[in-house]
Structure 1
Amino acid sequence: MNRASNAKEVILTSDTTGESWSAAVWDPRNGSLLSVYKNATALGHRSLQLLSDSYVLGADATRPRIHIWPLNSPLPLPNIRLTTPGKVSALICTPNGSYIIASVAEKLFIWQTCNGRLLANLTGHYQTVSCLATTKDGSLFASAGEDGLVFVWSLYSALNDTRSSPVHAFSNHSLPVRDLYFGHGGARARLYTVSLDRTANVYELGSGDLLLSLVFDAPLTAVTVNVRESELFVGCITGEIFQCNLHEPPRGVEHHVTVSSCEESAVFQAHKSNVTALSVSINCCTLLSGSTDGTVHVWDIASRQVLRTLQHKGPVTAAFFAKGFDNFRASVLKPRLQVHNLQRTSDDGGRDSIVEVVSRGRNSAEILNFESYVEDSSDSRGLDQTTKKLNDLQKEINKLKKINAALYQYGVTHILKKSTTDKEH
C-alpha cells in the first residue's frame, strides 16, 4: 500500500507488536494509511528515525541490529546489515543523515553513514541511556536515561577526541529522564527535559543555565514545543497532556503546576495511560500524541479536541510529524547518501578512508573538479552578479584614489605653503 500524497507533512508511527508492519506513514489530514515498512520485528521505544530524506531507520526491540528501509519501499534495504555491539536502547540521526548515534546500555556509539565506520564510543552515564536528541543543525546532541543525568555533547569533539567530555552535564533530575527535545538556535538552543520525578526543565545551552523548572502532580514521560517555542507540551504517566505558555513564564526558576491551578482548557484528556510520544505540526496548529493504550491522537491545539485517532495493535513506541519528502512517493529512490554496513568495533586506519560522494543530477566525477564549476556557471546569473560587484568595487576604488589625490594636493598647496610663510616671518 503506497498511495501518493501531496501533503507537506506526514506522520510516522511504530508500536510494540510489529505484527502487520514495523512502522507506518499516515496522512495527517484524514488519518489514512499511506505506506508501511515491514519484514522486520517490532522497533524499540522511540528508535524510529528518518535518515535524511532517503531512508527509515528503526532499532530492533530485542536484537542487536538496526533495520533500514528506503522511504518508497515496504521492504528493507537489501545487502545492508546494521549490526550493533548490543541491543539499542536509544537511537538518533543527525539532520543531514551523515551520522547515526545509538546507545547500548550506558554507552554511546557514533557511526559515519557513508562508510559505516564506528568513529566514537562515549561513556559517562552510570545506567542505561533511554533517550537521545540532536540540535537542528546537528552540532550538539544530548543523552539521558535511568541515572537521571543529562549530558550535552559536541559532535565535533566526540569525533575528534577519543577522551571527549560533555559540553554540559545537568544533574537536576532525581529520577530517570524519559524524554529530551531541542529547540532552535544550534549551540545556543534551549533543551527541554522531562523526568519521572515530575519535573520539566528548560536549559539554555549558551550559558548552561537552568531557566525554568516546572513541577507537576504526576511523573512525566514526553515533551515537545512548537516551532516558535511559545508553547510547551508535556505528557504524563496518567495519559494527560499539559500545555504551558512559555511567553508568560513564572518569575522564579521553579514553578508548581497542578490540575486545579491550570485552566481546564490547558489540559488534553483522551489517553487512558502513559503518553509515550509528542510532536507539533510545522504550522503550530496540530498536536500529535502516542500512548501505551495503543492510540495515536491528532489534536486541534486551539480547541484541544481530538480530530482523529490512529489505532494501533499495541503500545505506541514512536509518533511524530515529518516533512513529506518526494522519496515517500517516488517510483525510483533518489538517495542523498550512501549507506554501508556498520562496524562493531573501531579501526585505527579509518581516518584515511576514502569517502564516496553522492550527488543528485550531476556527474559525481565532477564534484571535486573546480574547472567544471567555473565552466558551468560562466553564463549564470551568479557570475553576472559577481562581475557587477567587482565593477562597482573598482569604481569605488577609483573614486577613493581621486579623493586621496585631492587631499594630497590640498596638503601640498596649503599646509606646506603656510609652513614656509611662517618660517620667513
Structure 2
Amino acid sequence: MLTESYLVSVTGQPLANNTAVSKDAGIYEHTLHPSHSTTNTFKKSSTPRNCLAVSDTHVFAAQDEKSTVHVYSRAKGNQEAVVTFPERIQSVALLDDVLFLGSQEGRLIIWEICTGRQVTTPACHVQAVTCIAATPYHLLTGSDDANVHVWSIPRLLELDSTIEHEPQETLSNHRAAITSLVVGQSVNPDTNICVSGSKDKSCIVWNYQLGIPLRTLLFPSFPLCLALDPCARAIYASSEDGSLFAIDLFAEKALLGPQSTEESSTAVQVSSAFGATPQDAGPASCMAINYDGTILISGHPHGQLLRWDLSSRADSTELSNLNASVTSIVFTSPLPTPRPTKSVTVVKPFLGSRTYNFTAQLDSDATEETRFSKMLQSKGVPNDVIEQAILAFQAPVQDGVGDQELRRENEELWEVINEQRALQKKTLQRYIEAKSANA
C-alpha cells in the first residue's frame, strides 16, 4: 500500500503546558495513509507562513523575523546546516535542486543547493515577497505591493552574470497585498493557470504566461490561503471569518473555458461556504490537498490540524493538536519522479564567480556490469568505444523516413521543372521557325 506523508511547520511559543507535545519541535512529519501518525520531528525551528520547502532528502525552513534558513536531513532527523542571507526571508519554494527565496526587501534569491551557486535579482517588488509558486519553467512571486511577477526559470538560472533579471509578466489587477498564490502544473500556454488571493477580498484566476485575467472571484472577507486541486479543476479558499469555500471551475455553469456563458471580465460573487472551522481553532492559516485530490488538511493558529473529506464535504475531523500556531503544510508525493542522480549533501550558497562542483549519488543498480560502468573504471577512453565511434563515422548515412519523403518530393518537383523546361524549349523553337519563315 502506498504511504502518503506531509510535513507541518509551527511558529511561536507553546500555547499551553501540554506535556504530550515536545516544546522544541518546530516541524512535524506525519503519515496520512494508511493510518495517521507522527513519524518524525525536527527541532529548533520557528517557521512563518509560506517558508517551508521539502525535498526527498532535506527540509528547508526559513526562520521567523530572521535572515536564516535551517536545513534538516530527513534520513537522520537532525539539523544539518544553518544558512544566513543578507536579507530577511519571507517565503520559499523548492524546484528540483534549486531553492527560491523571497526577501523582505522585494528581491528574489536563487540558491542551487547541489553546487552552492547563488543568484540575486534586483528589488522588482517594492515590498516583501510573501508567497512563491513554481512550475517546471516558470516562477511566480506575490508581494505586499499587490503585484504578482512571472519569471522564466531558465533565464533566472542563466550562467551569464551580465544577464539582467526582470519579470516576464506582471499581473497587477489586485488593489491590496497578495496573501496566497497557487499554480497548476500544466505547461501548455493555453491551459496553465494560477490563482492569486488578496486582502482586497478577491481571488483572480490568471493565464499567467499570457498575463490575462480569466475570472475574478469576490469573497465576503479576504482569503488567507488557497489550495488548488491537483488537476486544476477547483479552488479551495480559507477566509478571515473562518469559512472554507470550494469553487468548481468546470461545473455545470463553467467559470473557465469554452463552456463558460459569461465574459471573463464578469466578477463572480462567492457566498456559500462548504464548511466552517471551529471557533476554538480560528481561521485556517494554511491548507494542502493530498495526491489524489480527495482530502484537504488545514492548519490553524491554535495548533489544530483538521481533515476535510472533499468527496462528501462532511464536517472536519481533528488529526492532531501541535500546541503552536500552524503556518505551513507540504505534502510529499507517494510516487516521486525518478531522477538519475541524487544530491548527497547541501552546499551552502556562495555569492560571486567561482568554479562550482557537483557531487551526486547515482541512483541505479551497480551489481551488473554495464557499458557505463566499464567506461567509469577504465583509464581514459576504452579502445572498443573508440573503435565503435570510428566505425560510426565511416558508416554511410541512413536515410530516415523524413529524408525519404523529402527526396521523393524533390524528385517530383524536378519532374515538373524538366517538363516546364521542355515545353519552354519547344515553344521557343516554334517562335524561331515562324520568325525565319516571315523573313
TM interval, shorter chain, is 0.7 to 0.9
Q: Which residue pairs with 2:154 in the alignment?
A: 156
Q: Which residue pairs with 1:219 in the alignment?
A: 222
Q: Which residue pairs with 2:97 in the alignment?
A: 97
Letter in 2 for 1:299: W
Letter in 1 for 2:27: A
Equivalent residue for 1:33, pick from 37, 55, 62: 37
Establish whether residue 206 from structure 1 lines up as the match of residue 213 from structure 2.
no
Whole-Å Cα distance in 1 between the matches of residues 421 and 200 of structure 2? 81
* Equivalent residues of 2:140, 2:148 under 8 A apart: no
Whole-Å Cα distance in 1 between the matches of residues 113 and 375 of structure 2? 21
CA shift digits 1:98-137 (9 cap, x unpaired) = 3433324432211222222222233122222211111x21
Worse-matched range after superposition: 247-256 or 68-77:
247-256
TM-score (norm 1): 0.76
Letter in 2 for 1:111: W
Equivalent residue for 1:44, pick from 29, 35, 48: 48
Equivalent residue for 1:10, pick from 1, 5, 17: 5
- Equivalent residue runs for 1:50-61 within 5 Å: 50-51=54-55, 53-61=56-64
Establish whether residue 64 from structure 1 lines up as the match of residue 67 from structure 2.
yes
Deviation at 1:354, TM superposition (A): 3.2
Q: Which residue pairs with 2:326 in the alignment?
A: 316
CA shift digits 1:249-283 (9 cap, x unpaired) = 15452424243xx3xxx522234322222222232
CA, structure 1 residues 302+325, in 2 after alignment: closer, same or farther (shift >3 Å)? Answer: closer
CA, structure 1 residues 285+197, in 2 after alignment: closer, same or farther (shift >3 Å)? Answer: same
Establish whether residue 339 from structure 1 lines up as the match of residue 334 from structure 2.
no
CA, structure 1 residues 105+30, in 2 after alignment: closer, same or farther (shift >3 Å)? Answer: farther
CA, structure 1 residues 318+363, in 2 after alignment: closer, same or farther (shift >3 Å)? Answer: farther
Q: Which residue pairs with 2:285 in the alignment?
A: 276
Letter in 2 for 1:207: L
Q: Equivalent pairs: percent with the same residue?
A: 16
- Equivalent residue runs for 1:254-293 within 5 Å: 254-259=266-271, 262=272, 266-272=273-279, 273-293=282-302
Deviation at 1:243, TM superposition (A): 0.6
Whole-Å Cα distance in 2 between the matches of residues 32 and 360 of structure 1? 30
| Structure possessing the higher relative contact order (Cα contacts under 8 Å, 6 or more residues apart) | 1
Whole-Å Cα distance in 2 between the matches of residues 409 and 392 of structure 1? 26
Q: Which residue pairs with 2:247 in the alignment?
A: 244
Worse-matched range after superposition: 27-36 or 240-249:
27-36
* Equivalent residues of 1:141, 1:154 under 8 A apart: no
Worse-matched range after superposition: 112-121 or 16-25:
16-25
Deviation at 1:139, TM superposition (A): 3.1
Runs of 4+ that moved beyond 6 A: 362-365, 369-372, 389-425
Counterpart secondary structure, 1:122: coil
Whole-Å Cα distance in 2 between the matches of residues 171 and 19 of structure 1? 42
Q: Which residue pairs with 2:25 in the alignment?
A: 21
Q: Which residue pairs with 1:180 in the alignment?
A: 181
Structure 1, unpaired ranges of 5+: 328-333, 379-386
CA shift digits 1:48-77 (9 cap, x unpaired) = 1113x2211111224321111222221122
Whole-Å Cα distance in 2 between the matches of residues 370 and 192 of structure 1? 53
Whole-Å Cα distance in 2 between the matches of residues 322 and 44 of structure 1? 20
Whole-Å Cα distance in 2 between the matches of residues 364 and 104 of structure 1? 51
Whole-Å Cα distance in 1 between the matches of residues 419 and 380 of structure 2? 49
Q: Which residue pairs with 1:354 in the alignment?
A: 356
Letter in 2 for 1:83: T
Q: Which residue pairs with 1:384 in the alignment?
A: none
Whole-Å Cα distance in 2 between the matches of residues 158 and 392 of structure 1? 39
Establish whether residue 116 from structure 1 lines up as the match of residue 128 from structure 2.
no
CA, structure 1 residues 37+162, in 2 after alignment: closer, same or farther (shift >3 Å)? Answer: farther
* Equivalent residues of 1:22, 1:42 under 8 A apart: yes
Deviation at 1:241, TM superposition (A): 1.1
Deviation at 1:40, TM superposition (A): 2.1
Counterpart secondary structure, 1:233: strand
CA, structure 1 residues 364+83, in 2 after alignment: closer, same or farther (shift >3 Å)? Answer: farther
* Equivalent residues of 2:142, 2:180 under 8 A apart: no
Whole-Å Cα distance in 2 between the matches of residues 104 and 365 of structure 1? 49
CA shift digits 1:282-309 (9 cap, x unpaired) = 3222222222232222211121124642
Whole-Å Cα distance in 2 between the matches of residues 213 and 158 of structure 1? 30
Whole-Å Cα distance in 2 between the matches of residues 268 and 240 of structure 1? 6
Whole-Å Cα distance in 2 between the matches of residues 256 and 33 of structure 1? 40
Whole-Å Cα distance in 1 between the matches of residues 53 and 76 of structure 2? 15
CA, structure 1 residues 415+163, in 2 after alignment: closer, same or farther (shift >3 Å)? Answer: closer
Across the two proteins, how many residue pairs are aligned to each other? 387
* Equivalent residues of 1:149, 1:177 under 8 A apart: yes
* Equivalent residues of 2:89, 2:101 under 8 A apart: no
